[in-house]
Amino acid sequence: MEPPTVRETADLTDFSNTKLEAGLRRILDSNLIGVVFVDGAGWIKHVDDAFLRTVGFSRDELPPRLIDLTPPEHHRFDEDAFEKLLAFGACTPFEKEFIRKDGSRVPVLFGAVLNDEEISCFVIDLSQNKKAQDQLNHLAYHDALTDLPNQSLFKDRLKQAIALSQRSNQMQAVMLLNLDRFKTVNDSLGYTGGDQLLKSVAQRLTSCLRDCDTVARFGSDEFAILLTHIPRAQDAANTAQAIKETLAQAFIFEEQEIFVSNSIGISLYPNDGKDTATLLKSAAAALDRAKNQGGNTYQFYTAGGTTRSLKQLVLESNLRPGLERNEFFVHFQPQVSVKDFHLVGMEALVRWQHPSLGLLYPKEFIQLAEDSGLIISLGDVVFHDACTQNKAWQDAGLPPMRLAVNFSARQFQQTSFIASVAAILKQTNLDPSWLEIEITESSIMKDPDPAIEKLLELKMMGIKVAIDDFGTGYSSLNYLKRFPIDTLKIDKTFVSDLCKDPHDTAIVRAIITLGHALDLTVVAEGVETREQLDLLADLECDVMQGFLFSKALSCEDFEELLVEQRQVNTISSLVTTLQS
């Protein structure tokens, strides 16, 4: 015979008052539930021992009203519950807290029913449940070995930090740290030793950081660090250095000294990423580079994968504010006819008056501006200022001169390139025929066909085009023929060894011949000596630019040159008039 099921044997109707009362009494005696009776005004009339234990008071010490045991922020919930109680005779049990005698808080489940004039409340102490829940939460968000936050918590904190910085625009640094050759150390120490080492690393890392920073373990020997609100990139470098030094000190294991070095990759918000995934990816790329350099070092992320020095990093973060504060300005380098040394033009070269680092030259910041995309705004500023100045000289009656302006590949490749050139010419009122745009071979060769279209448009606008640094890129002669250009600028590397290296002489000769064959003006840049000039004259180069004649000059100095040129022009036109 089958055993009877519970439902068949239980008599659910047999729930007499005596049985019920006995059962309830047993529940109350078990101290699982505390009981409080209060009157309509909230004065405590009766409490049982379980309640007293929950709130930690003795009967004599107990405050007179239930509200005295309730934290202020819970008062509103209590009032809502009281209203429900009056309306329906009972309130749905809800979680709240009581203040214990020692000031600590105890979480409870609280319910109440109306009972004639009185209110009967029950209180179930939830502190054990909360503790268990907290422990579970802690385990879910922490690494069991080191008790550091784990990857989920780290990402959470990073997300929060980003959300906060979006308003304040403050910099954050994400660092990924890896112990060098940990596998070897782990193999030789055994797992216990390896674990101990990781724990010590965790402790030392924590000791290097501020309270507001987060250090997490992602697994194995990989740690992540979040530095929040750092004013300068330098601070991240300082922390990385401090970490390196702290971890470089010996770890003691079974009375033996063990040394481990580490590699760190750093990415910065907002420059290297605006979300958690990108920042972590950038830091991982930087870490890879640190490892590839043999470890025991830290590296900042760079878009192009090249090494960035700290100075560059500082400059990069100063670029945008520098632009906003008008720290960039233009110098003009004279271009002179090789034949008669007459001034024939000027090249605008950007300079940066940095508030703490002084005057900076393009090689220190142009690449950074390119990498960060700021070259577009910077280029516009330079172009606008150079045109304004050139036009002002013309308006002042000084001899009009061609103005050469450098455009980076990124500017040239913008779809709005032609429109923005036209807009600035219009704004500054400069006649396009005075403008020469300098671009490099690689700007054009990256995507030659659309480039040719742009060059044609420039030509139609009456603007001249020069190929800068000619000879250093990879011009295809086939394309060169199709490029509607006006000028070739021989790169200064060929000019500098012109008189020493016969190969350079041959190259310069070839460029000049090629240029002339294509009906182009040839400019030699970087002319520093008389010998170079003489040889260039022999080779029939048209124009020269270089320190032999002048370096790039401030507006005031260039203006003096223009005034002199006006005198030269007046004298020579006087001579011509007299001769005729």
- Residues making contact with Mg ion (CB under 5 A): 406, 438, 468-469, 525
Q: Would you count residue 525 as binding ligand C2E (CB under 6 A)?
A: yes
Alpha-carbon torsion, ordered 373, 376, 381, 383, to 10 deg:
140
Rounded Cα–Cα distance for residues 518 and 506 (Å) = 18
The least CB distance from residue 437 to Mg ion, in Å, is 10
- Name the binder of 112 from ligand C2E, Mg ion, none, CB < 5-8 A by kind: none
**Is 241 or 442 the residue whose CB approaches ligand C2E more closely?**
442
Q: Would you count residue 354 as binding ligand C2E (CB under 6 A)?
A: no
Taking CB under 6 A as the criterion, the residue among 363, 474, 477, 481 binding ligand C2E is 363
The least CB distance from residue 342 to ligand C2E, in Å, is 18
**Is 371 or 469 the residue whose CB approaches Mg ion more closely?**
469
**Is 371 or 491 the residue whose CB approaches Mg ion more closely?**
491
Taking alpha carbons only, the member of 445, 441, 185 closest to residue 295 is 185
**Is 260 or 435 the residue whose CB approaches ligand C2E more closely?**
435
Q: Would you count residue 361 as binding ligand C2E (CB under 6 A)?
A: yes
**Is 175 or 552 the residue whose CB approaches ligand C2E more closely?**
552
Instruction: Tell me whether the omega of the peptide bond preceding residue 400 falls within 30 degrees of 0, making it cis.
Output: no
- Name the binder of 88 from ligand C2E, Mg ion, none, CB < 5-8 A by kind: none
542 CB contacts (<8 Å, ≥6 apart)? Answer: 337, 338, 339, 521, 522, 523
The least CB distance from residue 392 to ligand C2E, in Å, is 18
325 CB contacts (<8 Å, ≥6 apart)? Answer: none
**Is 106 or 346 the residue whose CB approaches Mg ion more closely?**
346
Q: Would you count residue 84 as binding ligand C2E (CB under 6 A)?
A: no
Six-digit token string for 249: 């000190």
Rounded Cα–Cα distance for residues 543 and 533 (Å) = 10
Q: Would you count residue 552 as binding ligand C2E (CB under 6 A)?
A: yes
CA atoms within 13 A on the CB side of 318: 23
Length, in residues, of the chain: 580
Six-digit token string for 167: 């308003």
**Is 272 or 436 the residue whose CB approaches ligand C2E more closely?**
436
Residue in this structure with the two tokens 């968000």, named with its chain if needed = 141
Q: Would you count residue 492 as binding ligand C2E (CB under 6 A)?
A: yes
- Name the binder of 93 from Mg ion, ligand C2E, none, CB < 5-8 A by kind: none
CA atoms within 13 A on the CB side of 224: 28
Rounded Cα–Cα distance for residues 423 and 404 (Å) = 17
The least CB distance from residue 554 to ligand C2E, in Å, is 13
Based on DSSP, count helices (H) and strands (E) in the chain, helices before strands.
21, 21
The least CB distance from residue 561 to ligand C2E, in Å, is 15
The least CB distance from residue 461 to ligand C2E, in Å, is 20
- Name the binder of 379 from Mg ion, ligand C2E, none, CB < 5-8 A by kind: ligand C2E
Taking alpha carbons only, the member of 294, 287, 297 closest to residue 176 is 287
Q: Would you count residue 532 as binding ligand C2E (CB under 6 A)?
A: no
Q: Would you count residue 366 as binding ligand C2E (CB under 6 A)?
A: yes
Contact string (CB under 6 A) for ligand C2E, positions 410-439, x = contact: ----------------------------x-
- Amino acid, single-letter form, for residue 220: S
The least CB distance from residue 486 to Mg ion, in Å, is 14
Taking CB under 6 A as the criterion, the residue among 526, 536, 539, 562 binding ligand C2E is 526
Sign of CA dihedral 127, 128, 131, 132: negative
Taking CB under 6 A as the criterion, the residue among 349, 421, 463, 522 binding ligand C2E is 349
What phi, psi does 70 have (nearest 5°)? -105, 130
Pairing of strands 343-354, 90-99: unpaired
**Is 122 or 328 the residue whose CB approaches Mg ion more closely?**
328
199 CB contacts (<8 Å, ≥6 apart)? Answer: 145, 146
Taking CB under 6 A as the criterion, the residue among 190, 423, 547, 554 binding ligand C2E is 547
Tell me the number of residues near ligand C2E by CB under 6 A: 24
Rounded Cα–Cα distance for residues 517 and 232 (Å) = 54
Taking CB under 6 A as the criterion, the residue among 222, 528, 540, 557 binding ligand C2E is 528
- Is residue 549 a contact partner of residue 527, using CB atoms and an 8 Å limit? yes
- Amino acid, single-letter form, for residue 40: G
**Is 62 or 548 the residue whose CB approaches ligand C2E more closely?**
548
CA-based R_g, the chain, Å = 40
Crossing angle of helices 310-324 and 362-372, in 10° steps, is: 80
The least CB distance from residue 553 to Mg ion, in Å, is 15
- Name the binder of 253 from ligand C2E, Mg ion, none, CB < 5-8 A by kind: none
The least CB distance from residue 259 to ligand C2E, in Å, is 45
Q: Would you count residue 406 as binding ligand C2E (CB under 6 A)?
A: yes
Residue in this structure with the two tokens 């030259």, named with its chain if needed = 361
Crossing angle of helices 375-395 and 555-579, in 10° steps, is: 40
The least CB distance from residue 528 to ligand C2E, in Å, is 4
Rounded Cα–Cα distance for residues 270 and 272 (Å) = 6
Stretch that binds ligand C2E, among 47-55, 268-276, 391-399, 524-532 (CB under 6 A): 524-532
Beta bridge partners of 316: none
Binders in 469-488 for ligand C2E, by CB under 6 A:
469
Taking CB under 6 A as the criterion, the residue among 81, 260, 350, 523 binding ligand C2E is 350
HEC secondary structure over 272-332: CCCCHHHHHHHHHHHHHHHHHCCCCCEEECCCCCCCCCHHHHHHHHHHHHHHHCCCEEEEE
**Is 273 or 526 the residue whose CB approaches Mg ion more closely?**
526
- What residue ranges bind ligand C2E (CB under 6 A)? 333, 349-350, 361-363, 366, 379, 382, 406-408, 438, 468-469, 492, 525-528, 545-547, 552
